[in-house]
Structure 1
């Protein structure tokens, strides 16, 4: 016999078969006057089983809503006990929803299934729940041969069992949904909003320090890639940990192969190609003496080596004659790392540190990156078009959403960003899709040109960075560009009129929101809808507003994270 959740589907299929068999009996009885007095008995039994079937089906549908998409719901109901019901991931999702009630729930369903088989046997139906004869006119002969009862009272014991089982299933389903809803609404279970303003200030401060750290003539050939992190834990403040901040940045430094844009600058022989480092944030005080005095109070960290090195570096950087001097040429400093000795720390930056709220300590990774000539860069758009597993796409959705809150209005992420702004670095031994990056160059001639929203569209798209996130989430899900998802009814594309073009892409995105609910589920589609429509039940539309920032975190980031956890917490990477 089938076990576990498969049985739930089998019951869903067996009750309608019993009803069909009884209806066939009732029609056969109508042919012979002898059996007309029993017809009312059979019809009453049909009514009772019909009600129990509807009750059971409603309970199962309530259980499935949110576990399977609206699109898949029809397939589940059309093939009770079929292959979809046997999938391990489906069983895991039901276990998460039912919690401690799972075993009891499945035990009752198994008991109900056993009862339906007894009903089939007592009615002399086949194992498949069908009558053992096919012609209604032969009912009299079949009745004499098979000897089944036409009295409703002879089935009362089994129907009582069905009613009690259905009642228990209905109650357990309702309780599970209520518990789930209350847990979602509970302030204790609602994730606290990280202080994204602090992260943003540190990221922009790091960029400012980098701007004055290149004392070389080959600046145009350098770029710094900042790794995007989810940073969903709320432990980022400037007051909690003295001089040493919990969060750090992970970066890649690149010496580009391409020639510099300034013809007056010679193409160098590239003394290095790539390097990798962690950047720790030092919280500067108004007086260096105060900062130096508090170095001893640096809290313990998960990485003992980093903690020890960071404490020593902070103390050294703040001494009047420091052991580690702040650098003024990052290019030369990175070049010095190409040897075996890398246990050093760079402090950024001698002139800026007085004006900065934060100091930055750059820790090269312990071992030199290898085979860097074969490292390559690919955009997120190219990776999506090439094909990414759903797990990676949903994981990236969380990272991108959180990164918008962290890096909005900084030099790392422009308002008109897209999945073209995000890239991966393909390198040996590392799963590139786990580490998305954004990059910046620091040549004085370079400038970022932001594509502003046309005047009339500002009322439709009040927050461009958030709208860009909505577009990115759509493209991530479908693995296609918005232009590829365009339909004629959305309006004309590729017009010289940028305002009309914006409106067309908005129409495409708006149309896809409702389709996404069937495809991706309520949590993912809800996050997309809020981004595209900027619908947060708040008058504010700017990330500078703390309440708006909190609403975006709860309505977008937290929803995407919950969706990812729900769908993939127990599944493999191949999904």
Structure 2
């Protein structure tokens, strides 16, 4: 039983205890005894109610920001309800209390024992189990319960202090925790790229798309293995299709869920792949095929066979799969040496829960990743998909589809992803709007699912272009992020926002972009002070001193707290 659940039990037990005390005084015969009882009762009830309210305040403080306000009210009104037992809430409270969580559980357990002991003493004197003589002679004295009241009072005071101090430290801990998470993500994403690259031992041309996500560390202890075990990555891998349409080069895409495999490698005794049931019916998912023309950057996708039941929600399918793959880490799966061929063979199988394992043997150490198919729902709107870049959206005047909340959501994901992927092959340099892509369904992009693409064999990508022809005293990666944030909030590319004067005054594109951003900051500040402050720190300020890169943990933490956290705050308020 969790600490917060025990706290709910205590909050529910104290009113019952008070009711019992009041009830047992009803049978007192003499006025003298009743007056003494009433005096002692008021004092005891006042003490119990005081500690109950203080404990309730502690619980409210712990729950603020963790559950909706309406749910807090519901929990307070029903302290014995199911809401106190929700695992998600318990984990968030554990994260908030950090290393003090064990003390919280021990202290609230002591308080509950004191409340139970008080109830037992009352029952033994005046309850149903008491003799007729004891009930007749029942009197109430504060001294009878002084020791228990002291335990409750000291326990609640300790909980108040523990809660207040941990909530004060929570923002700083979050920054440190995120910095460590980003460091782990950079290492894991780099290893994943090398593992995929080494497994694609074929002459084919492949595009690998990595979904960008906003991530947070909810692990209260500094356990890197536990953090890694909870990570997942979502990929889309393309290969040339066997069928070719005239004038078009068709591609097939496989959506893949990747999970780090922390089990020891046994090269001599690799076990056969273990099958896990996927909740689906019908024929196996074959692929999702894109057809791209050489003279356009928009790619048309046509869905083929599906693995899911008609009408099944894709998010539900992914969640079901994620639960199933948790146990895969216990096994050593087949090491994939030719992923392209593996995917082709998997199309012919009736049911596949995992493709196997890709391994990174880089100089930084051996890392393993298990690959699992992501089922595609069998619905009409998935028959024709396309991929479009953020730059195309902003240039084609379709930015009207990007609501203010969409823009803030993308700003948070992209700025967070730079900290997660910087220095890895996925994001080896500055990023621009031409490097962010979305899947379109019926000509409508899914703005909550941005991703970046890499080509194998490696091609020169836009994200690797950094203007270096003239020295510029700014971190080009952060300046590029500032430019992208301005494009998002304005709904246009930086080229469309630039004035002729800015083009004539600056001889490099980086300097032109810098001047345009500085000019537009005043307009942004009127819309959101947090957003404007984030952009300002991208192009100016202390983050550009000392020539540090985002590989530096201190700079990484500073960028998170000074840029990403401000954008997150704006998103929370929308």
Say which of 565, 569, 574 aligns to 1:558: 565
1:274/1:369 contact within 8 Å kept? no
Please give the per-residue CA displacement for 1:331-356, whole angstroms capped at 9, x wherever unaligned. Answer: 22222343563433123336849984
Describe the SS at the equivalent of 1:415: coil
SS at match of 1:253: strand
Measure the CA separation in 2 of the matches of 1:534 and 1:258: 54
8 A Cα contact 1:326 1:350, kept in partner: yes
2:207 equivalent in structure 1: 223
Distance of 1:447 and 1:487 partners within structure 2: 29
Question: In the comparison of the two structures, how many residue pairs are matched?
Answer: 359
Partner residue in 2 for 1:128? none
1:197 to 170, 175, 183: 183
- 2:418 paired with 1:404: yes
- Are 2:322 and 1:331 equivalent residues in the alignment? no
Within 1, Cα distance between the matches of 2:248 and 2:544?
55
- Per the TM alignment, residue 528 of structure 1 is displaced from its structure 2 partner at its CA by 0.4
Long gaps (5+) in structure 2: 1-68, 74-163, 272-317
1:474-527 Cα distance to aligned partner (Å, 9 max, x none):
00011111122222443418x8x5x3x332221111121222111x21100000
Q: For residue 485 of structure 1, what is the aligned residue in structure 2? A: 497
Partner of 1:155: none
Q: Distance in 1 between matches of 2:335 and 2:222?
A: 22
Q: Which residue of 1 aligns with 2:169?
A: 187
Offset of 1:443 from its aligned partner?
Answer: 1.6
User: For 1:276 and 1:403, how far apart are their aligned partners in 2?
Assistant: 20
| Contact 1:223–1:439 (CA under 8 A) maintained in structure 2 | yes
Instruction: Give 1:324-473 correspondences, 5 Å limit.
Output: 324-339=333-348, 341-349=350-358, 352=361, 356-367=365-376, 374-384=384-394, 385-387=397-399, 388-427=402-441, 432-443=446-457, 446-448=459-461, 450-454=464-468, 456-459=470-473, 461=474, 463-473=475-485
Q: How far apart are the structure 2 equivalents of 1:241 and 1:536?
A: 30
Query: Given the alignment, which residue of 267, 274, 279 partners 2:253?
Result: 274
Show the counterpart of 2:531: 524
2:548 counterpart of 1:547? no
The one of 225, 230, 233 equivalent to 2:217 is 233
2:359 touches 2:367 (CA, 8 Å); kept in 1? no
Assess if the C-alpha contact under 8 Å between 1:198 and 1:238 holds in 2.
no
Post-superposition CA distance 1:412-435 (Å, at most 9, x none): 123232011000011369961110
Following superposition, the deviation at residue 236 of structure 1 comes to 10
Can you list the C-alpha shifts for 1:271-306, whole angstroms capped at 9, x where unaligned?
Answer: x712212100123658889x99xxxxxxxxx95753
In the alignment, the residues of structure 1 paired with residue 531 and residue 497 of structure 2 have an alpha-carbon distance, to the nearest angstrom, of: 18
Cα distance in 1 for residues equivalent to 2:467 and 2:454:
23
Distance in 1 (CA, whole Å) between partners of 2:227 and 2:376 is: 27
Residue 243 of structure 1 deviates from its aligned partner by: 9.9
Note the C-alpha offset of 1:252: 1.2
Deviations 1:530-573 (A, max 9, x none): 0011534864631121111111000110000001111x1xxxxx
Aligned counterparts of 1:453 and 1:555: Cα–Cα separation in 2: 25
RMSD between superposed Cα atoms in Å: 4.3
* Alignment correspondent of 1:84: none
Tell me, yes or no, if the aligned pair for 2:388 and 2:445 is still in contact at 8 Å: no
Aligned to 1:165: none
Equivalent pair of 2:183/2:420 in contact (CA under 8 Å) = yes
Name the counterpart of 1:249: 233
**Deviations, residues 170-210 of structure 1 (Å, cap 9, x unaligned):** xxxxxxxxxxxx99x94324543422111011111110011
Matched, 1:316 2:316: no
Note if 1:508 corresponds to 2:516.
yes
Residues 380 and 225 of structure 1: CA distance in aligned 2, closer, same or farther (over 3 Å): same
Post-superposition Cα deviations, 1:36-86, rounded to whole Å, max 9, x if no partner, equal xxxxxxxxxxxxxxxxxxxxxxxxxxxxxxxxxxxxxxxxxxxxxxxxxxx
The separation in 1 between residues aligned to 2:334 and 2:265, in whole angstroms, is: 20
Alpha carbons of structure 1 residues 304 and 390: separation in structure 2 relative to 1, 3 Å: closer
- CA shift in 2, pair 1:411/1:565, >3 Å: same
8 Å contact 2:191–2:362 — kept in the other structure? no
Contact 2:202 2:340 in 1 (8 A): yes
Q: Give the alignment's TM-score, normalised by structure 1.
A: 0.54
Which protein is bigger by CA-based radius of gyration?
Answer: 1
Q: Distance in 2 between matches of 1:522 and 1:556?
A: 12
Q: 1:349 to 1:187 in 2, by over 3 A?
A: same
1:211-246 Cα shifts (integer Å, max 9, x gaps): 1112333x21x2111000010335499945469621
